[in-house]
């Protein structure tokens, strides 16, 4: 059975599938070798109990919310009442359990989703690799059994694997520099980064409040639209497809296309050509201000400054040494420099908005490379350079605070490649409408 939200919900509502059987199917997948690394904790008995209650209510003819029984995994930085939010760390393992759900979690639970467990992640969400020395390294489905496998991407690595391996129907992660989209691209699924202010951050352990955005990772754009609507306070709407004929797509050529893996370049250009053949207008552009600035996760950044502010009283020997090094890079950023960085970001955002106004969306490869092999990813220099490369293209959307969705554009039996569509700030639903029509073209299924 395909793990699409609407299809699973319909199967549950019709009685073709029970909530208990659905939960057991997910738990069986989690109990595989890769499931152990994808999750930090699994709500086996709680999920079974909730599933049984849903099945009984359905048998009694009781009214149920529309997504009652659909499984959901959550990244280990979202509060779930009664559980400790560790954010992938050891240092928070003895913290008090959450007394309430994060607001986006509460909204999903209110519509019937069952939380199957808490997914593994980069400690404190501060890397694009998705590796975790405390809880293991989730691996991309691609060449998983070859030479130790490949990274799943970060920071929401376990979340992405939970979807690619049918451990849950849908998941939520966070995206500060690409943390939903890079893992989605590396695991062959859809990932959405919304406009930052669209999703409430209450009950989510922060990395950088100026950049953090909670977002869904799913098996389709329609699933992402359902999740986005619920997380933003809606009832789970999808979007009608936006006409592709005449759609104006800008391709920001320049540093975002430097040093692309040959597979990434080939698959991206092929998908772009399919969109052109479907009637979209493709325009190559150069955004000079971005070529000069090249915003990404640099050591002296807004993200580093805010991360250090959050962690300065917690830092200690129990941190992942690489993550601690990244956080410590923010300790010497002066208040005046921090304010200047904020001002520069706002100025750049306005300038790029003016340049890109004639276009409906921007298109770019989600990541410049296919998932790197885990073997050899050791030492701060290699980890830092690899993470920076993974997040180079995704970080742009965070810096500009523009909604962006990644859609797989590779053949199913080949290395995963993500195709990103970037919309205009605060126009998230329009982006989802465009992505709904573009998805089969990008995937090559039309």
Residue 302 lies in a domain: no
Residue 300 lies in a domain: no
304 beta partners: none
Using DSSP's 3-state secondary structure scheme, residue 190 falls into strand
Tally of residues, the chain: 446
Torsion of CA 203, 205, 206, 212, to 10 degrees: -60
Residue range of the domain that includes 176 = 1-286+362-446
Total domain count, the chain: 1
Residue 341 lies in a domain: no
Residue 270 lies in a domain: yes
CA angle centred on 174, ends 189 and 244, rounded to 5°: 45
Tens-level pLDDT at each residue, the chain (446 residues): 789 999 999 999 999 999 999 999 999 999 987 777 999 999 999 999 999 999 999 999 999 999 999 999 999 999 999 999 999 999 999 999 999 999 999 999 999 999 999 999 999 999 999 999 999 999 999 999 999 999 999 999 999 999 999 999 999 999 999 999 999 999 999 999 999 999 999 999 999 999 999 999 999 999 999 999 999 999 999 999 999 999 999 999 999 999 999 999 999 999 999 999 999 999 999 999 999 888 765 768 999 999 999 999 999 999 999 999 999 999 999 999 999 999 999 999 999 999 999 999 999 999 999 999 999 999 999 999 999 999 999 999 999 999 999 999 999 999 999 999 999 999 999 999 999 999 999 999 97
What are 92-132's pLDDT values in tens digits? Answer: 999 999 999 999 999 999 999 999 999 999 999 999 999 99
- Do residues 263 and 414 touch, judged by C-beta distance below 8 A? yes
Residue 40 lies in a domain: yes
Inter-CA distances, 308 with 234, 348, 382, Å: 34, 24, 22
Distance in angstroms (rounded) separating the CA atoms of residues 237 and 259? 39
214 beta partners: 174
Residue 431 lies in a domain: yes
CATH classification of the domain holding 181: 3.90.1300.10
What is the pLDDT at residue 297?
57
What is the per-residue DSSP string for 31-63? TSHHHHHHEEEE-HHHHHHHHHHHHHHHHTT--
Catalytic residues: 75, 155, 179
Residue 292 lies in a domain: no
- Specify whether the backbone of 213 is left (phi greater than 0), alpha (psi in -120 to 50) or beta: beta
Distance in angstroms (rounded) separating the CA atoms of residues 91 and 327? 15
What is the pLDDT at residue 35?
77
Residue 380 lies in a domain: yes
Q: Which residue, chain included where needed, has tokens 């640099």? A: 298
């Amino acid at each position: 059975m395909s793990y699409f939200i609407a299809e699973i919900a319909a199967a549950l509502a019709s009685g073709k599938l029970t909530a208990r059987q659905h939960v057991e199917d997910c738990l069986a997948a989690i109990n595989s070798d890769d499931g152990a690394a994808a999750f930090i904790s699994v709500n086996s008995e709680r999920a079974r109990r909730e599933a049984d209650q849903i099945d009984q209510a359905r048998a009694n003819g009781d009214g149920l919310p529309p997504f009652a029984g659909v499984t959901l995994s959550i990244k280990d930085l979202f509060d779930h009442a009664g559980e400790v939010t560790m954010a992938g760390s050891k240092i928070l393992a003895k913290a008090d359990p959450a007394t309430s759900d994060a607001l986006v979690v509460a909204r999903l639970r209110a519509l019937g989703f069952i939380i199957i467990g808490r997914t593994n992640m980069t400690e404190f969400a501060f890397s694009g690799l998705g590796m975790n020395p405390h809880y293991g390294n989730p691996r991309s489905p691609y060449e998983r059994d070859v030479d130790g496998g490949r990274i799943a991407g970060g920071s929401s690595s376990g979340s992405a694997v939970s979807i690619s391996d049918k451990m849950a129907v849908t998941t939520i992660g966070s995206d500060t520099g690409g943390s939903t989209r890079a893992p989605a691209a590396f695991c062959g699924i859809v990932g959405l980064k919304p406009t930052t202010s669209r999703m409430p951050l209450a009950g989510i352990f922060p990395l950088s409040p100026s950049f953090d955005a909670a977002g869904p990772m799913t098996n389709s754009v329609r699933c992402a639209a359902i999740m986005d609507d619920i997380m933003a306070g809606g009832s789970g709407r999808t979007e009608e497809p936006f006409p592709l004929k005449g759609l104006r797509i800008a391709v920001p050529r320049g540093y975002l296309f430097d040093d692309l893996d040959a597979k990434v370049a080939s698959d991206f250009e092929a998908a772009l050509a399919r969109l052109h053949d479907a009637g979209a207008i493709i325009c190559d552009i150069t955004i000079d201000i971005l070529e000069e600035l090249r915003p990404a996760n640099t050591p002296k950044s807004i993200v580093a400054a805010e991360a250090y502010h959050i962690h300065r009283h917690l830092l200690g020997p129990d941190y992942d040494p690489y993550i601690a090094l990244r956080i410590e890079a923010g300790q010497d950023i002066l208040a005046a420099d921090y304010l200047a960085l904020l001002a520069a970001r706002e100025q750049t955002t306005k300038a790029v908005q003016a340049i890109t106004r004639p276009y409906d969306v921007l298109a770019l490869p989600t990541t410049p490379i296919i998932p790197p092999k885990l073997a050899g990813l050791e030492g701060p220099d290699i980890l830092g350079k690899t993470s920076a490369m993974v997040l180079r293209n995704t970080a742009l959307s965070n810096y500009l605070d523009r909604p962006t969705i990644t859609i797989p554009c590779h053949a199913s039996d080949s290395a995963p490649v993500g195709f990103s569509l970037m919309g205009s700030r605060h126009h998230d639903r329009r982006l989802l409408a465009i992505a709904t029509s573009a998805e089969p073209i990008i995937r090559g299924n039309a």
